[in-house]
Amino acid sequence: MHAEDLPATAAPAPEPGRRTLDWGAALALQAAVSAGLGVATTAIWAVTGGGSFWPMWVWLGLALPLAVQFGVRRAMLSPAGRQRGLAVHAALFAVLTTLLLLLWLMSGMGSFWPIWPLTAFSIALLVHAWVVTQMLPPERERELADRVDVLTRTRRGALDVQAAELRRIERDLHDGAQARLVALSMQLGRAEERLADQPEVADLVRRARGEASAAIAELRDLARGIAPPVLADRGLAAAVEALARRSPMPVTVVATIDRRPPPVLETAAYFVVAEALTNVAKHGAGARARVAMALDDERLVVEVTDDGPGGADPGGGGLGGLRGRVAALDGTLTVTSPTGAGTTIRAELPCGP
């Protein structure tokens, strides 16, 4: 009911607030007590006749815990993790440096001995800072990297599932609706035969059979749009060979693919080649095309080059759709199409583990 409101409005705000308040009050109390003690000792010094101003050592002793507490509390406000460790270190460094300089000032400013401890402290702080910023990525960065890893994996998983689902649907269409329509068409055919003496009824049955055939053809086109059978059956190289053979222009295919990449990559690569070849056929009268495909451990690269007129619109309808399809797989699609110098469409699809 109100469960959604509660944490957002009521719960988180007071907690840190109360803690800050407690700390502030404690610090104020401590500061007041310290100041009181300081004033008291100074008064004692004045009453006892002055002389060398010894209460300054009392002031120093009282200020030190206050400074340490203040610096550390401030440092604790920075984000948790290594960053906070470095902030605490820096705060202590500042307090210690001030302390040493005050000691030196108060002890009569002889030879500048604090140089040695300060050098050592500085080196320690610099090393710490370098380790935090250089050697190890900050916590937040690592969190983001982890998140990106998870998202990449799950998105890829989702696409793999989608590809498998589409192929399952295609199989179900084949075994289910299409098969039944074929059976229906056959029964209608047998009925039509027996109606030879009633031509009008036979004609009705023939028309019904025509409708069944049209439905079968539509399902066939639908299934082919998901993935052509030869792609699912024989893989990318064979399917692209088939595309090349069906193209109206001469197409050379060079494939270095020795295993089946995941279906989702095969399908994306196939449609890149199909679209590219369709474009060549449409715009590159008399052009020749070359398809190069290579698969290694890290990526699947397909490249379609033609010697047509060039000047293709890289964002144009078909290419824009392909770009989205390739980008969803963390791949890149580049279109190089200077006017008068042919077109190269190249898709790189990562296929690492």
Q: Where are the alpha helices (DSSP H) in 48-177?
A: 55-76, 82-106, 115-130, 139-173
**Which C-beta is closer to another protein: that of 288 or that of 346?**
288
Strands 251-256 and 289-295: parallel
Q: 350 - beta bridge partners?
A: 299
Q: Where are the alpha helices (DSSP H) in 48-80?
A: 55-76
301 burial (CB, 10 Å; 0-12 / 13-18 / 19+) is: middle
Q: What is the dihedral of CA 100, 103, 105, 106, to 10 degrees?
A: 170
HSE (side-chain half, CA atoms, 13 Å) at 228:
17
CA 229 to chain centre: 33
Closest approach, Cβ 282 to another protein, in A, equals 11
CA distances from 309 to 45, 161, 164, 191, 285 (A): 99, 40, 39, 56, 9
Which residues contact another protein by CB under 8 A? Answer: 171, 174-175, 178-183, 185-190, 192-193, 209, 212-213, 216-217, 220, 223-224, 228-230, 232-234, 238, 241-242, 245-250, 281
Are 268 and 331 contacting, i.e. CB atoms less than 8 angstroms apart?
Answer: yes
- How far is Cα 249 from Cα 255, in angstroms, rounded to an integer? 19
**Which C-beta is closer to another protein: that of 43 or that of 285?**
285
Closest approach, Cβ 285 to another protein, in A, equals 9
**Token pair belonging to 158:** 């989702």
Closest approach, Cβ 292 to another protein, in A, equals 18
Closest approach, Cβ 309 to another protein, in A, equals 17
**Which C-beta is closer to another protein: that of 253 or that of 302?**
253
**Which C-beta is closer to another protein: that of 26 or that of 186?**
186
**Token pair belonging to 245:** 């053979």
CA distances from 233 to 223, 275, 292 (A): 14, 21, 21
Closest approach, Cβ 228 to another protein, in A, equals 8
**Which C-beta is closer to another protein: that of 192 or that of 330?**
192
**Which C-beta is closer to another protein: that of 238 or that of 341?**
238
**Which C-beta is closer to another protein: that of 36 or that of 176?**
176
Other C-beta atoms closer than 10 Å to the C-beta of 12 total 10
146 burial (CB, 10 Å; 0-12 / 13-18 / 19+) is: exposed
**Which C-beta is closer to another protein: that of 5 or that of 197?**
197
User: SS3 for 157?
Assistant: helix
**Which C-beta is closer to another protein: that of 84 or that of 220?**
220
Residues 6+ apart with CB under 8 A from 112: 104
Closest approach, Cβ 236 to another protein, in A, equals 13
Closest approach, Cβ 319 to another protein, in A, equals 23
